[in-house]
Every structure is written in C-alpha cells, then in structure tokens.
Structure 1
C-alpha cells in the first residue's frame, strides 16, 4: 500500500496510522480493536525523518478504519499548520 502524502501551504503531511495498542503494550493484528494515528509534518523537500515533527492526534476512541484515521490526520495537520491547535506549532520547521 502506498502512503498518502499531501502538501499544504509549503508543508508535507505524512499520516501515520497504526493498530491500537492494548493495555499490555503489545501490538496485535486485530482490526476490531481499531487504529490510532499521528501525523508527521515537514517542509516540502525536507527529509521527513530528520527535519519533520510527529504530532499525535488527540482522539478519545480508536478509529474504526485506516481510511478514517488518514482523513483525521490530514484535517489535524491542516489545523496545526494554520495555527489553530493550542500548544502545538510548526512555525519552527
């Protein structure tokens, strides 16, 4: 599967979706447990691993599927880039 990367206002948005961890901290392949998500943001053309920053999505419940989690990543990243998330910024990237 190809990872979806989107650009927005000079930033690259890399959604990071992974299976929900259980209380024993082991990742299991159980799609019914849901998914959690984070998003890596970097400037266009930068090395995402070295020059980017990862932000975890504040979500009370796990996402039902990877598609919903990816959509939420994109929306959260846009809010971060627009400066609408208290306590988090991408201004120094």
Structure 2
C-alpha cells in the first residue's frame, strides 16, 4: 500500500500502517484478530525521514478496522505531537 506523506507546520508526517500481529507474532488479515496497528514517523520538511525523523507510537488497545482509519489516526496523532499536546512525545529537537 502506498503511504501518503502529509505536511503540517513545517513537518512531514509519514503514517506507518501494518497488519496486526497476534501474540505469537503471526499476521492475520482475515481472522477475528485481524486489523491494523500504526505508528507515525515525523521529520522536518525536506529532511531524510529514515535518518532525521523519529517514529512515534501511540497507544490504541484494539486494532484499527481498516488501513484508512489507521492512517487518519496517524495524521491526527502526529498533529497533536507537533502541537505539543502529547505528554512525553516532542518534536522540539528535530
């Protein structure tokens, strides 16, 4: 799946969406435990995301029902991190 990059207040937001893994570490796309987990990579616009970005995880106790919902949650979480509204997560040193 192609992940779209969004920009917000001088930062690039890279949603990282992946199939949910079971406790045994196996991915299941079509079972009761199916769904998606997500994280988000944030870097300055124009920076190399792999070298100059940081991955932020967010606690979501149930899998997202679809990749689109997970991607939207990534963008929302990233904007909250950038705005300084998430305790313990900051982009001030990027």
Query: Distance between the aligned counterparts of 2:16 and 2:89, measured in 1?
Result: 18
Identify the residue that residue 92 of structure 1 maps to in structure 2: 93
Identify the residue that residue 18 of structure 2 maps to in structure 1: 18
Relative to the length of structure 2, the TM-score reads 0.93
User: Residue 25 of structure 1: CA displacement?
Assistant: 1.2
The one-character-per-residue Cα deviations of 1:34-82 (angstroms, maximum 9, x if unpaired) are 0000000000000000000001121011000000000000000000000
What value does the CA root-mean-square deviation take over the aligned residues?
A: 1.3
User: Residue 31 of structure 1: CA displacement?
Assistant: 6.7
Query: Distance between the aligned counterparts of 2:64 and 2:2, measured in 1?
Result: 20
> Post-superposition, which runs of at least 4 consecutive aligned residues in structure 1 deviate over 4 A?
none
Give the conservation status (yes or no) of the 8 Å contact 1:12–1:44: yes
Give the conservation status (yes or no) of the 8 Å contact 1:42–1:52: yes
C-alpha spacing 1:31/1:80, structure 2 compared with 1 (3 Å): farther
Is residue 50 from structure 1 mapped to residue 51 from structure 2 by the alignment? yes
Q: Report how many residues are paired.
A: 93
Identify the residue that residue 71 of structure 1 maps to in structure 2: 72
Alignment gaps of 5+ in structure 1? none
Alignment gaps of 5+ in structure 2? none
Identify the residue that residue 83 of structure 2 maps to in structure 1: 82
Relative to the length of structure 1, the TM-score reads 0.94
